[in-house]
Structures are given as C-alpha cells and as structure tokens.
Amino acid sequence: MAFLEINGLRKRFGSLEILKGINLTLDKGGFLVLVGPSGCGKSTLLNTIAGLESITSGEIRIDGDVINDLHPSKRDIAMVFQSYALYPNMSVAQNMAFGMEMRGVPKPERDKAVAEVAKTLQIEHLLNRRPSQLSGGQRQRVAMGRALVRQPRVFLFDEPLSNLDAKLRVDMRIEIKRLHHQTATTIVYVTHDQIEAMTLATRIAVLKDGELQQVGSPYEVYNSPANLFVADFMGSPAMNLIEAKVSRANGATSIVVERPNASKISLPAPSSADETKLRDGGAVILGIRPEAVSDPESADRNSKNIATFNSLVDLVEPAGSDTFVVTTIAGKEVTARMRADADVRPGQSVAFAFNLDKAVLFDPASTKRI
C-alpha cells in the first residue's frame, strides 16, 4: 500500500471548484512534484495535505491513517514555505526547536536534535542569529532545517526556491536532491518550474484547472506526455507540435505534413503511436522534442526512424552548449537543437533530421496521445 494516498479529493470555494477529484499515491521515500501553471490548484492541494485548507470531499491517508479532519499539527507533517516563514523574533535555533517546544519535548532533547540537523545542513554557525541577519540561501536552509528536525512522516515544500536568484536556485535544487537521497524522506513538492520538477521528482503530477493531467516518472511525463497540455508544459524549449494528416497506403502508415510554399513532407508513423487508431485522412498533431530535430550529422545513430528534409531557417539562437534553430513548418514554429558550432544563418535552407522514434502523435479533437 502506498504511503501517501489521495482519493477523489475535491475542494470547492463557494461555487468555484478548485480541485476536481484528485487521485494520487506516493510510496515511502518518494519525491512527488506537483507541477502546473499558476492557479491550477497545486498549492491548494498541498495545503489540503497540510491541513491548512479543509477539503470538500475525498480522503487523504498517510501510512494508512485517514488524516482528513486532523489539525495540521496532528498530521505529522512539516512544511517549507515559499517565503520561508521564519519567526523573526526568534533565533535560528529557537526557530528550529519551536515545533518540538510546542509538543513538550524536553530542552536537552531539542538541543540535540537541532544540533544534529544543523550539522547536516551546515548551519551550525548560524544557530544564534536572527532570520533578518541571514542571506536568502541561509534562510532557505534554516527553513528546511526546521522541517527536518522533527522527523515528520511527510515533508511538504511550497515553491521553496522561487525567491532565490537563478544560480542559488540551482545550488539549492542539488542540495534538496542530495538531502532526499541521504535521509530517504517522503516529499511532496510544489513548483511551477518544470525543470525543478524533472530534476527532483521520482514522480511528477501535472495539474491544470484542478484536474490531474498525468502522473508518472519524469521519463514518462517527458517522453510520453498524456496530452497536448503536458507535452507543451514540460520541457524547455517546448515540444514542437505540428498539424499533420494520416495517410495509409499499401499497408504502410505515414504522416503527411502539408507546406504552403514547399513540397509536402511524408514521415513514417512514430513507433510510439497505436497504428490501429490511425485512420486514413484523419487529422493528427505530431509532437517532437527539439532535441529529436537536428542536423543530419548529429542525429541519433541508433534510431531506425529518421526523416530528413530541407526548410528555411527563421532564427538562430546560440545557447552555448547547443544552437537552437527555428524554422516554420505548416505555419507552426519548429525548434531544432543543433550542434553548438553548426554553421547556420537565418534565410538559409538547411536539412532537418526528424527522429521519429522520439515523436508522439496526438488527437487534435480530444488532445490525448494516440
């Protein structure tokens, strides 16, 4: 049985339904990332697990116990807030010990637990300082320390890195990942940053408008997105989505992309698609990640399914490690990832290699993957 279980959870504010029947499970020691655009209900979902918001219907279980109506302090959870929420009138040590103090843990025990966690997080030298005397990264560590010190069953993180600058954010991301490895804690983490989600999670749940779009490992969510929303949301630059038509002839299925000012492109059907669902002449949307579109020289040699054709280059974005080349196919911008030293200029006609092993097809009507 899963450690954290959410069954049919609904949350309504008046007539507005924020969470529309969420079902989620997480194993002990797992790292679940709730990701989605602003207002998708991910923070509300986290708050319902914390008990800071009541739920309209459904069930939340931790380790088999239903915790729906328990006070936040009785749920054996700890939360790291976006603003860190350190008590400004207390020292770092007092901040960390406050939860234990409220639970009546004797002082020597509190001091011992604080010292241990401070050592893990390398904040021993900060214990007597006030939050106002700490830098952003240090506050972040203290906030995590305050959560860790009580050894709760589940940790909740509410966009903990969004107040840090870009470099520190990457450092702290690695820190959190390392901490998760070391302590094997169960974590639910909310973010709107899909890179954080990919790098940290053992399990990603993508939310939109209060509904789960897909739950799975980062690999599954990235490579086999359940629908167009997930395909577009996860990954940066975003997945290329090209309108196309199915053509079935002589037992072979191909995907045809019409181009207004150039010859049409005929591509073999991606291996991921269920061919029985493809109907001759039916409209589909071809989804292909920028890294699966490249110059022919750097295309994946292990792929059995590469199609090459020429197209005019609109824009070249050198990113240091790679060069992103933007072209227009069937009215849609398509981004390709090429070698860093690829000699490509806007206006040139360049060969693009599509790796169709890595492509997916979507039904434009239902937006689901085929």
Residue with tokens 């959190």: 176
Spell out, one character per residue from 156 to 195, where the chain touches another protein: x when CB under 8 A holds, - when not: -------xx-------------------------------
Pick one of 21, 136, 237, 282: the residue that binds another protein (CB under 8 A).
136
Q: What is the smallest separation between the CB atom of 131 and another protein, expressed in angstroms?
A: 5
CA dihedral 7, 11, 15, 18 (to 10 degrees): -100
Pick one of 58, 68, 98, 357: the residue that binds another protein (CB under 8 A).
98
Pick one of 16, 71, 106, 251: the residue that binds another protein (CB under 8 A).
71
User: Which residue stretch of 79-87, 112-120, 319-327, 340-348 sits at the interface with another protein (rule: CB under 8 A)?
Assistant: 79-87
Is 85 among the residues that bind another protein (CB under 8 A)? yes
Q: Are 289 and 239 in contact (CB under 8 A)?
A: yes
Q: Are 48 and 9 in contact (CB under 8 A)?
A: yes
Q: What is the smallest separation between the CB atom of 163 and another protein, expressed in angstroms?
A: 6
Is 111 among the residues that bind another protein (CB under 8 A)? no
Burial 112-126 (b: 16+ CB within 10 A, else e): ebbeebbebbebeeb
Is 91 among the residues that bind another protein (CB under 8 A)? no
User: Which residue stretch of 38-46, 82-90, 265-273, 360-368 sits at the interface with another protein (rule: CB under 8 A)?
Assistant: 82-90
Q: Which stretch of DSSP H or E encloses residue 169? A: helix 166-183
Residue with tokens 């860093």: 340
User: Which residue stretch of 24-32, 49-57, 284-292, 324-332 sits at the interface with another protein (rule: CB under 8 A)?
Assistant: 49-57
Q: Sheet of 31-35: strands edge to edge?
A: 77-80, 154-158, 186-191, 31-35, 203-208, 211-216
- Pairing, β 16-26 against β 4-13: antiparallel
Burial 19-52 (b: 16+ CB within 10 A, else e): beebebbbeeebbbbbbbeeebbbbbbbbbbbbe
Beta bridge partners of 153: none
Is 132 among the residues that bind another protein (CB under 8 A)? yes
Pick one of 3, 81, 309, 324: the residue that binds another protein (CB under 8 A).
81
Q: What is the smallest separation between the CB atom of 139 and another protein, expressed in angstroms?
A: 7
Residues near another protein, by CB under 8 A: 50-52, 71-73, 77-79, 81-89, 98-99, 102-103, 130-136, 139, 146, 163-164
